[in-house]
Amino acid sequence: MHNDIERILKTETEIQDKIKQLGEQISKDYEGKNPVMICILKGGIVFLSDLARNISTHVQLDFMSLSSYGDSTKSSGVVKIKKDIDADISDRDVIIVEDIVDSGLTLKYLNEYFKQHNSSSIKICTLLDKPNAHKIDLKIDYVGFEVGNEFVVGYGLDYAQKYRNLPYIGILKKEIYS
């Protein structure tokens, strides 16, 4: 698997250091509260798992699965709920935990969806952001790293359902796509 990687963008240490900082910030912002952290499967699972353990306030964990990318590297723009959350989020603080924001279409959809469920607040936390790829105006509250428009894998992010278990974030060799 490691042989398929052309270049490492963020090392394991860089990622863990960043998650410590994000965890401290979220712990401060939600002190005395009990937000529902909603992980967007499957990409967000590795990030959520490390992030939650760096937060010192109570948090509730929940999961949502959406269809977006299929096995290709292009956004379909179509968002469909495959698994909904279990928690009742009315009057609750919600933190959406994403692996990466690309076009922003997924988050636009989720923002509206959670608003309809009368959550008291919604914040977005993403490990990676591709600011140059946004197709809509989007406020992201917590960002780990900004990256360019290249396709990245690892630390939860996949190509054709592979590479999610890489402990770092990298770029695949060209020949892997063909």
Q: Which positions are catalytic?
A: 102
| Assigned token pair, 75 | 């956004």
Instruction: Please state the closest distance from residue 120 (CB atom) to ligand IMP, in A.
Output: 25
* Binding residues vs ligand IMP (CB under 6 A): 40, 43, 68-69, 75, 98-106, 151-153, 157
Run of H or E including 109: helix 105-116
Tell me how far CA of residue 151 lies from CA of 9, 74, 85, 92, 157, in angstroms: 11, 9, 28, 34, 10
**Closest CB to ligand IMP among residues 33, 160:** 160
**Closest CB to ligand IMP among residues 25, 68:** 68
Nearest 5°: the CA angle 16, 129, 115 is 105
Instruction: Please state the closest distance from residue 28 (CB atom) to Mg ion, in A.
Output: 27
**Closest CB to Mg ion among residues 141, 158:** 158
Instruction: Please state the closest distance from residue 32 (CB atom) to ligand IMP, in A.
Output: 30
Could you tell me which residues come within 8 angstroms of residue 50 by beta carbon, excluding any fewer than 6 positions away? 15, 16, 19
Residue 104, binding choice from ligand IMP, Mg ion, none, Cβ under 5 to 8 Å by partner class: ligand IMP
